[in-house]
Amino acid sequence: MHRLLQTFQGKVDQELKELGVASHCCYCSMQCAIELRVEPVQLRVTGVQTVKDFPVASGRACPKGITAHEHARHWERLTMPLIRKNGQLTMATWDEALTAITDRFRAIQRNHGRDSVAVYGGGSLTNEKAYLLGKFARVALRTRNIDYNGRYCMSSAAAAMNKVFGLDRGMTVPLHDIPLAKFILVVGANIADCQPTMMPYFRQAQKNGAKIVVVDPRETGMAKVADLYIPIKPGTDLALMNGILHVMIEENLIDEDFIKDRTIGFDEVKNTVRDYPPEKVSRITGISMESIVKIARWYSEAETAIVYTARGIEQQARGVDNVLSCLNLVLASGKIGKPGCGYGAVTGQGNGQGGREHGQKADQLPGYRSIEDPEHRKYIASVWGVDEIELPGKGKSAYELFEAMADGEIKGLFVLASNPVTSSPNSNLVRKAVAGLDTLVVVDLFLSETAKMADIVLPGSAWTEDEGTMTNLEGRVILRRAAQRPPGQARLDWQILCDLADRLGKKQYFSYVTPEDIFEELRLASAGGKADYSGISYAKIEQQKGVFWPCPSDEHPGTERVFTDRFAHPHGKAVFHPVEFKEARELPSQEYPYYLTTGRLMIHYLTGVQTRRTVALNGKCPDPYVEMHPVTAAANRIEDGDWVELTTRRGKAKYQVKITSSIRPDTLFVPMHWEHEQSVNLLTIPELDPVSRMPEFKICAVSLRKLKSEQEGEREHEQEKVGLGR
C-alpha cells in the first residue's frame, strides 16, 4: 500500500470527503499538533485543524500554524531541477542535475581535497533528514565541513548547558511545569511573538500567584505581561545576573545545601560577583538598584522558579558567558531538578533541538556524540559500517565556512533547507563568498536569495509531504505524517540525499525504503549517547503523544524532567563558571550613535521565504521597518512612516520608520524576515563568540539618515533590486 494511504488508515471520515492526517506545524519549536485535512482523490491538503487532545498547545495554534499548509502549494514552488546555463537558471532533468552535481563535486574534491566541498543544513529538517545529512557529509562526501543554521540559533545556550550541566536539553522541565512556578525570569526572549501558544502557561502561572520578570531592551508582547519589566541596555545582562547573585549572597538568600551537595565551583563565582554591587550594576545596565534587589528577593523567596533565555542574550559574542551568568543564578538558588523549577533555553526552529543532536553540527556525531572522541567515532563508524579512520574530524562553524569560501579554501557548497545568504551576519561578505564558489547546490522549496545564486537548484519536499520526527523545545520527540506528494517533479529530501550518495558510489550505506528505516538507524546510532533515542519508536510516539529524550530502552517512558537526582557530568554535579562583564564589540559612538538590534515578528518566520508567500500573513506585514523611540525620532526630525537609511561599518539599508515608545531611545530594531537589499544582515557584525562561534546578531552600532521623501526612499530601493543574482 502507498505510504500516504497507510497514514490514513482509521482516519477516513464517514463519507470519504476528507481525510485527517496527524501532523505538527512546520514553524516554531512549539510544534503545535494539527490535523491536515486532505482531499482523498488527488491527495491535496485543503486546510488545517487544531488538535485538542495533544499536549504542548492543547488545541491552540497561532496565525502561522493555521496557514502553514499554504506555501506548500504556492505557484512559485520549485517543481523541476534547475541548472545555470549561460548565466540563467534553466529547467533540467533529475539525471542531468544529479550528474552535474556529482561530476562537479568530484572534480573539486579531486583538485582541492575532500574538505573543499561543504554541507549546510537547517533546523527545520526532521531528525531523519538531519541525521542523514550528517551521514551524507561524512560517508558520501567524506568532508569535515558540515554545519547548519542552528549555529546562529542555539549554539551559545547549548555550549553553556554542556559546561554547567554536562547536557544540553533546551528545557530541563516540560511546559506543564510552568504553572507550578512561583517566579519566572525571562531574559532576552520574546515568547509572545515567537512561541505564541506558550503564553497561556505563563498566564496560568500568574493566576497561581507567580511573579514574572522580563528583561529586554524592547517592551515586547512578553514584557507586557510581566509583573516587572526591565528595559536593559543591550549587551549588559551578564552584569545584571552577577548583580542579582551578589545581592542573593549578601542577603543570605542562596541554597547552601544544594550548592554543597549538587554543585562544584561556587567559591570562585562568589569571589567574582563580589565586584558587582547594585550601584555598579545599575550604572552598567541602566536598571535601578531597587529592581536588582527586588529580582534577587523574588527569585529566592519563591518556593519554585524557572529561568528562560533565548536569542536576545545568546546571539552575542559573549553569548555563552551570558547564559553561564544565568545558570550561576539557577544553581545558587537551588531551584532546578524539582517540579516547577529549572532552566530553559527556548529553542527556536521546529527541530532546533533534534537538529543539533544527530550530526549536522561540525563537531558532533549522532546522539550528541563528539566527533573528536575516539570511542564515539568508533561506535558511529560501526553503526555506519565504515572504518573509523575514514570518518573526517571536526569542521568549520557556519560563518567560518563562508569566510573559508571567501578565501577560496572551500569551493563547493551543498545547502539543504536554509537561506544562509540572507540569515548570516555581514551578508555583503557572504554574498561575495557564495558568488565566488565553483559550485553551489541548493535544495529548497523556493528560489530563496541563496537558491537564486546557485548553479544547481533541486526541488525538495515541504513539511506536508515528508514523514518524520521532530523534537520540540521541551525535548519531546513527535511525529509528522505525510499528507500529499511533492508537486511536479519535486522529490523527498531524504531520497535526494540517497540518490546523490548512490551516484557518489556509496549506495550500500544509503538504502532506506521509508523515513522510519532512517529513524530505526538513528535509534541505534544514538544508543548510549547523551541524546539517547534508542527507546523511541514511531508507534510509541503515537501512543504516548510524544516521547521525551533521553529514552534509553523500549520499556523506558522517556524523561520529562532532567537532573532530578544528578547532573550529566561524570561526577554527577553541576559546575559553576565565574564570568566577568565586558562591553559589546561595537558601542554607540559619535559616528554611529545607536545600538542596532534584530529579531522577529509574530507574523513572519526567519528569512520569510515561506511566510512572505502566505497571503494572509504577508498581507498583515509586507515590508520591513525600523522601530524607533519618539525621542530619537524627534531628535532626528523624523515622523512615523518616513524613510531612513541605516548605516553600520559593514553596509547600508533603507527602511520605513515605525515610531514606538516600547523601545529604548538608544536602540533601533529591525526584523530579520526580508531578503536582498531589505535584509538587516547587510548591517550586522560578524563578531563571533569564542566558544560557540555564535555571531553578534543582537548588537552593533548604527547611524541613521533621513531620506528626503518616501518616494525617494522607494525609488532608490527599487533601483537596487535590479541586477541581483549571480
Ligand X SMILES: Nc1nc2c(c(=O)[nH]1)N[C@H]1C(S)=C(S)[C@@H](COP(=O)(O)OP(=O)(O)OC[C@H]3O[C@@H](n4cnc5c(=O)[nH]c(N)nc54)[C@H](O)[C@@H]3O)O[C@H]1N2
What residues line the site for ligand X (CB under 6 A)? Answer: 28, 122-125, 149, 152-153, 187-190, 193-194, 215-218, 220, 232, 234-235, 237, 310-313, 315, 348-349, 416-420, 422-423, 443-446, 448, 460-461, 463, 493, 597-600, 602, 604-607, 609-610, 672, 680-681, 684, 697-698
Mutual angle of helices 127-135 and 493-503, in 10-degree steps: 10
Q: Which residue is nearest to ligand SF4 (CB)?
A: 65
Binding partner of 32, given ligand SF4, ligand X, Mo ion, none, CB within 5-8 angstroms per partner class: ligand SF4
Residue 395 interacting partner from ligand X, ligand SF4, Mo ion, none (CB closer than 5 to 8 Å by kind): none
Three cell numbers, residue 264: 562544584
- In whole angstroms, the minimum distance from the beta carbon of 255 to ligand X comes to 25
Smallest gap from residue 715 Cβ to ligand X (A): 26
Q: Give which of ligand X, ligand SF4, Mo ion, none residue 30 binds (C-beta under 5 to 8 Å, depending on kind).
A: ligand SF4
> Do the Cβ atoms of 152 and 355 come closer than 8 Å?
no
Distance CA 460, CA 448 (A): 13
**30 sits near Mo ion (criterion: CB under 5 A):** no
Which residue lies nearer to ligand X by CB, 220 or 333? Answer: 220
The edge-to-edge listing of strands for the beta sheet with 468-471 is 468-471, 476-480, 547-548
**Among ligand SF4, ligand X, Mo ion, none, what does residue 61 contact (CB within 5–8 Å per kind)?**
ligand SF4
Calpha distance 268→266 (Å, rounded): 6
Which of these, 162, 543, 546, lies nearest to 533 by C-alpha position?
546
Residue 607's binding partner among ligand X, Mo ion, ligand SF4, none (Cβ under 5 to 8 angstroms by kind) is ligand X
Minimum CB separation from ligand X for residue 321, in Å? 13
Q: Which does 234 bind (CB under 5 to 8 A by kind): ligand SF4, ligand X, Mo ion, none?
A: ligand X
If the CB atoms of residues 362 and 680 are measured against ligand X, the closer one turns out to be 680
Q: Are 197 and 472 in contact (CB under 8 A)?
A: no
CA distance 332 to 461: 47
Comparison of 84 and 480: residue with beta carbon closer to ligand SF4: 480
186 near Mo ion (CB under 5 A): no
Strands 305-309 and 228-230: unpaired
Per-residue contact flags (x/-) with Mo ion for residues 339 to 358, judged by CB under 5 A:
---------x----------
Helix, strand or coil for residue 439?
strand
65 contacts which partner out of ligand X, Mo ion, ligand SF4, none, CB within 5 to 8 A by kind? ligand SF4
Strand partners, 626: 657
CB of 548 to ligand X, least distance (A): 20
Least CB distance from residue 69 to ligand SF4, whole Å? 11
Q: What does 25 interact with, of ligand SF4, ligand X, Mo ion, none (CB < 5 to 8 A by kind)?
A: ligand SF4
Report the distance separating Cα 448 and Cα 673, nearest Å.
12
| Binding segment toward Mo ion, per CB under 5 A, in 4-12, 146-154, 391-399, 637-645 | 146-154
Q: Which is nearer to ligand SF4, 278 or 350 (CB)?
A: 350
- Position 189 contacts Mo ion (CB under 5 A): no
Site for Mo ion, residues 358 to 397, rule: CB under 5 A = none
Q: Which is nearer to Mo ion, 422 or 484 (CB)?
A: 422
Alpha-carbon dihedral of residues 125, 126, 132, 133, nearest 10 degrees?
10
Distance between CA atoms of 200 and 194, rounded to whole angstroms? 14
Could you tell me where the beta strands, DSSP code E, fall in 475-539? 476-480
Minimal distance, residue 195 CB to ligand SF4, in Å: 6
Asked if the peptide bond before residue 278 counts as cis, ω within 30 degrees of 0, the response is no
Q: How far is the CB of 379 from ligand X (least distance, A)?
A: 29
Cβ distance to ligand SF4 smaller for residue 31 or 614: 31
| Three-class secondary structure of residue 562 per DSSP | coil
Identify which of residues 346 and 413 has a Cβ nearer to ligand SF4 in the complex. Answer: 346
In the complex with Mo ion, the residue whose CB is nearer, 153 or 668, is 153
Indicate the residue among 196 and 608 with the shorter CB distance to ligand SF4.
Answer: 196
Provide the strand spans (E) within 567-637: 574-575, 594-599, 625-628
Q: Phi/psi at 607 (nearest 5 deg)? A: -80, 10
Residue 325 binds: one of ligand X, Mo ion, ligand SF4, none (C-beta under 5 to 8 A by kind): none
Nearer to ligand X, 31 or 109 (CB): 31
Rounded CA separation 404/406 (Å): 5
Which residues of this chain interact with ligand SF4, rule CB under 6 A? Answer: 25, 27-28, 30-32, 57, 61-62, 64-65, 195-197
Question: In whole angstroms, how close is the CB of 211 to Mo ion at the nearest point?
Answer: 28
Q: 625-628 and 652-659 as β-strands: parallel, antiparallel, unpaired? A: parallel
Residue 715: partners with Cβ closer than 8 Å, 6 or more residues away: none
Q: Could you tell me which stretch among 150-158, 174-182, 259-267, 695-703 binds Mo ion (CB under 5 A)?
A: 150-158
Name the residue nearer to ligand SF4 (CB basis): 66 or 212.
66
Q: Please report which residue ranges of 237-288 form alpha helices under DSSP H.
A: 237-250, 256-262, 266-273, 278-285
For the CB of residue 630, give the shortest distance to ligand X in the complex, in Å: 18
Contact in structure between 341 and 304 (CB atoms under 8 Å): yes
Question: For 548-557, which contacts have Cβ atoms below 8 Å and span 24 or more sequence positions?
Answer: 548/174, 548/474, 548/475, 548/476, 548/477, 549/169, 549/357, 549/471, 549/475, 549/477, 551/477, 552/527, 552/528
Q: Which is nearer to ligand X, 235 or 529 (CB)?
A: 235
**HSE-CB for 78 with a 13 A CA cutoff:** 30
Q: Which is nearer to ligand X, 101 or 574 (CB)?
A: 101
Q: Residues in the site for Mo ion, rule: CB under 5 A?
A: 153, 348
